[in-house]
Amino acid sequence: MSVEEVHPTLPIDLFRRAFRRYANGVTVLTYSGAAGTHGMTATSVCSLAAQPPQLMVCVNRAARTRDLIVEAGRFAVNILNESQRDLSELCSTAGGDKALDASVTDPDGAFPFIRTALASLGCHVIQVHEGVTHSMIVAEVDEVRLGRQSPPLVYFEGTYNTVRTLPGGGQVAPMYEQLFDDMIRSYS
């Protein structure tokens, strides 16, 4: 074990390095207001329940998006595919203009869905819990749109990646589905 690993007070860098090894799908949160439609890249997104369908996103309290989503009371979570790295970079540039026009998001629906996303979930905010640096925004899902099947964009070790199926992976997936269903039943 390295000195760093047994340090009595947890070094922040060690915490960060551990979480860089946690691979996440990349999403862009989109929301509309008086200034049009904007997006913010986020990986801190998780499913909370299927019945009723709820999810949670963690948004930095210093990010513009936090207040704008809470004020709007509704937003969309768009799960990106592997060809959407540019969009992720655009929507994660600190202080950058993250306006998305009608070529990127669909202006006609109830939610500003990204046209080419793997999947989009339109939600309304039901709770906001304040953490030290981030707000945990809990939302109920009103609409889901599934896009064309393609490999996802994944963030791992600070770089963009995608996934590959391991040999026999097709047999693991149904087992996971069953575990996930059991977990949801046990919470509902």
Ligand X SMILES: Cc1cc2nc3c(=O)[nH]c(=O)nc-3n(C[C@H](O)[C@H](O)[C@H](O)COP(=O)(O)OP(=O)(O)OC[C@H]3O[C@@H](n4cnc5c(N)ncnc54)[C@H](O)[C@@H]3O)c2cc1C
Is cis: bond before 52, omega within 30 of 0?
yes
Taking residue 188's Cβ as centre, other Cβ atoms within 10 Å add up to 9
Nearest approach, Cβ of 94 to ligand X (angstroms)? Answer: 3
Q: Is the dihedral of CA 15, 60, 118, 53 positive or negative?
A: positive
What three-state secondary structure class fits 185?
A: helix
Among residues 55, 56, 58, 125, which is the contact residue for ligand X, using CB under 6 A?
58
Among residues 41, 78, 84, 120, which is the contact residue for ligand X, using CB under 6 A?
41
Contact 83, 26 (CB under 8 A): no
Q: Return the CA Rg of the chain.
A: 18
Total residues contacting ligand X by CB under 6 A comes to 21
Among residues 31, 75, 90, 98, which is the contact residue for ligand X, using CB under 6 A?
98
DSSP 10-30: --HHHHHHHHHTS-EE-EEEE
Asked if 75 touches ligand X (CB under 6 A), the answer is no
Asked if 80 touches ligand X (CB under 6 A), the answer is no
Q: Residue 64 or residue 185: which is nearer to ligand X going by CB?
A: 64
Asked if 135 touches ligand X (CB under 6 A), the answer is no
Asked if 60 touches ligand X (CB under 6 A), the answer is yes
Asked if 100 touches ligand X (CB under 6 A), the answer is no
Nearest approach, Cβ of 151 to ligand X (angstroms)? Answer: 16
Among residues 32, 40, 87, 114, which is the contact residue for ligand X, using CB under 6 A?
40
Among residues 37, 43, 78, 120, which is the contact residue for ligand X, using CB under 6 A?
43
Q: Which residues contact 5 (CB under 8 A, 6 or more apart)?
A: 14
Asked if 132 touches ligand X (CB under 6 A), the answer is no
Nearest approach, Cβ of 114 to ligand X (angstroms)? Answer: 15
**Cα–chain center distance at 50:** 17
